[in-house]
Structure formats: C-alpha cells, structure tokens
Amino acid sequence: MADPVTKLIVGGVTSAQGFLAAGVHGGVKPQKKDIALVFSRVPAAAAGVFTTNKVKAAPVLVDMERIRSGRGQAVVLNAGNANACTGEQGLRDAREMALLAAQGLEISEELVYVCSTGVIGHPLPMDALRRGIPEAVKALGPDGAAAAEAIMTTDTVPKTAAVQIEVGGQVVTIGGMTKGAAMIHPQMATTLAVLTTDATVAAPVLQAALRRAADLSYHRITVDGDRSTNDTMLLFANGEAGAPEITGPGEALDAFQAGLTAVSVALAKMIVRDGEGATKLIEILVRGAQSDEDAARAAMAVAQSALVKTAIYGRSPNWGRILAAVGYSGAEMQPDRAMVRIGPVLVAERGGAVGDRSTLDEVVRYLARDDVQIVVDLGLGKGTATVWTCDLTENYVKENAGYIS
C-alpha cells in the first residue's frame, strides 16, 4: 500500500471547516493577549493526552474528567497563570472558566475544556477572566492567529500548522496551535496544544490516533528534561468536511493518522526550535537498534545530554559525548559495532575515530547551521527512532534564573 498523501498548508487551529477562534487581553498579564478560545460550530468527538506528572494542575483534572465522554465543542485557555497547586479553589476557578465560556457560547458546560499555563502556585485572577472570556466569545472569527498568540508564555513566536488529506474522496483538514519553550520533556512536554479537524472520527479511534501522534511527536522532544504540571493536548473532530466516518483500521484511518502525526511533529519541532535561549534545532536519529524502544531510549539520552547540547552550541566536534550518552542510555549496545555521523560527516565507527583534523574541521563548519542532525547506527537490528532537541546556551540560564511571570 502506498504511503498516504499529506499536504502541508499554511494555517492553524481554524483551518478545518466549522472552527472559530479568538485571542484577547483580559488582564491575567499586564499587557499581552492572555485568553484564547477555540470553538466548533457543532459538537465534536474529542480526545486528549495529559501530563503524567503526579502534580496535576486544576484544568488538567477537569479535562481528564470531561474527556471520558469523548465529546467536546470548545476550549478556553489562559496564559500568565498555571492554576496549579491551587487546591479546591483552583478546581472551582477552572470550572468557572468553562462555565463562563459555555454561557457566552450558549452550549453545555460539559462540552467546554480548560487549559492554563504560566506561574505555578498562584490563584487565578478571576476578575480578569470574568471580563476577558466574554470578550473572547465576542471576538470569535475564522482567523486563529490571535488565539495562538494568546497562549504564549516565554515563546518568542506563535506556533501553528495544518495539513490536508483525502478521506473517501473528500478533502479533510487537520490544524492546530501549540505553545512551549521550556520545561519540555516527554510524558509530556510543557505545552498546551489544541488540534482540530473536520474529519468524522469515532471517539475511541480519535483517542488512539492522538496517542499515536503524541508518541511520535510531543513525546520525542526535550529542551531541558523538566516535565510540567499543565500539559494538555486536545483534539476535536467535528465532521464538517462530510467525509465518511472513520471507525477503525483501513486506508481512511491510515491517511488520517499520517496527517495528524504530520501536524503534531511540525508543532513539536517548533517548540524545540523556540527553546529558551536556543540557537539550533537538533535532530537525533538512532537506527540499527535491537528494537524501536531501544532506539528511542538511546536517542533521548543523547538529546538530554547537557554535554552534547553545549557542544553543539559551541560548534565543538566532540562526538565522544554522543557515544557516551548512548552507552548509559540503557539501550543494548556494542561499541565496536556503533557508528556516528554529525550531518554528512562520519566521525566514528567500530567505537573509534574516523578521519583526521580536517574531518573535525568539517564538523565545525557544519555545526554553524541552524538545523543539525546526529545519526547513530548501533548495528544490532532494525530498531529506529527520531528525537528532537535544541542546543543549551547561557541564555537558558538567564531566562529561568528570574522567571516569575
């Protein structure tokens, strides 16, 4: 069977038919937009993936309850305050956020999801949200740019993506927006992500597809190894494209999965490219492992290594740090069978160096690029995995040494 055709398009969370969005300044932050709203004109199937941190923010707990229904129609989001570690008051405030949106939209409160991001441990400024959420309802429109801007914290740019696929002869669109720049690590990254599609997908199939997409995207990125209390990835499928319903395995699900994964990978890579203080996007490809799980384990160890990340920043051809990280990753490894490439340059094989000083000089020149690839072949099997990270710079320390809002 041929691989499904996935067409990346310019767009975002409102690219799919029947979705509207808004982003406004409500007063959670002093000046910037801080309240976003995404709305489907009709009720939709809903799926969600959430942080595995045992310390879960109030909106995560509310959403985890509501996602059991497999239904949704809107999500209201705020930046500037995480509503995490806020006890019973935080739960009441999260539910009130959903109620305010539901009242303005004239829909059931149970169909509204809530997301928050920002500083942990402070009560939500509910007066600002009581003013801002009704304004967001009034501002709803077909352009999702303001919503993507309103969920930013230390992000330097909004992050949006969209694709088109074909299901049953009908064009189907999948789009989304996300945020994140630090506290980024699998299970999940520190992120809010809202994905939308006009495909018709049964809720259990939608949930499985989102989990698969997350495992190949958001669970394959790391900036600093920290995991958040607020991670939320939501997907709504409203069926407005009129394509046949996807109820199980087959070509239609394959096409949908490919499109959903493509959007998720695009958004996830935007997060690490925008990592706090980062200057480079780094892709680590491990192949030849005994299993895909081993490959992912090895790739993530390289991606997490502060020594590797600082070496890439400093354009240092220190490939030994890469092999060392693979060696302690827990993946099965035989050093005399391992090979390392940095970009197009073979720097090590059979556990030892390849080339001479000119080889290392070529690596230094390659590392001047904004996008860097590291390839490790373990020579043991067919397992493969790709992980994305960024370099580690002094600006990351400066950004987080004084972050309080």
pLDDT of residue 315: 95
What are the structural domains, with CATH classification, of the chain?
A: 7-273 (3.60.70.12), 281-401 (3.10.20.340)
pLDDT band at 227 (very low <50, low <70, confident <90, very high): low
Q: Mean pLDDT over residues 366-374, rounded?
A: 97
**Residues 6+ away with beta carbon under 8 Å from 125:** 27, 28, 81
pLDDT of residue 53: 84
| 9 phi, psi to nearest 5 deg | -130, 165
- Do residues 184 and 191 make contact, with C-beta atoms less than 8 angstroms apart? yes
pLDDT of residue 400: 66
**Residues 6+ away with beta carbon under 8 Å from 365:** none
- Do residues 198 and 289 make contact, with C-beta atoms less than 8 angstroms apart? no
- What the block records as the tokens of 402 is 């004084």
pLDDT of residue 236: 98
Please list, residue by residue across 49-83, b when 16 or more beta carbons sit within 10 angstroms of its beta carbon and e when fewer do. Answer: bbbebeebbbbbebbeebbeebbbbbbbbbbbbbb
Question: Tens digits of per-residue pLDDT, 322-362?
Answer: 999 999 999 999 999 999 999 999 999 998 999 899 999 99
Query: Residues 205, 206, 212, 214: what is their CA dihedral angle, to the nearest 10 degrees?
Result: -160
Q: Mean pLDDT over residues 143-163, rounded?
A: 94
Supply the mean pLDDT for the chain. Answer: 92
Question: Tens digits of per-residue pLDDT, 32-56?
Answer: 999 999 999 999 999 999 988 888 9
Given a cut of 70, whether residue 103 has pLDDT beyond it is: yes
Distance CA 387, CA 253 (A): 25
* pTM score of the predicted model: 0.91
Question: Tens digits of per-residue pLDDT, 55-92?
Answer: 899 999 999 999 999 999 999 999 999 999 999 999 99
Active site residues: 190
Q: How far out from the chain centre does Cα 46 lie?
A: 17
Q: Mean pLDDT over residues 138-145, rounded?
A: 97
Q: What is the secondary structure of 4-61 as a DSSP string?
A: PP-EEES--TT-STTEEEEEE--SSSSSS--EEEEEEEEEEEEEEEE---SS--HHHH
Distance CA 318, CA 381 (A): 26
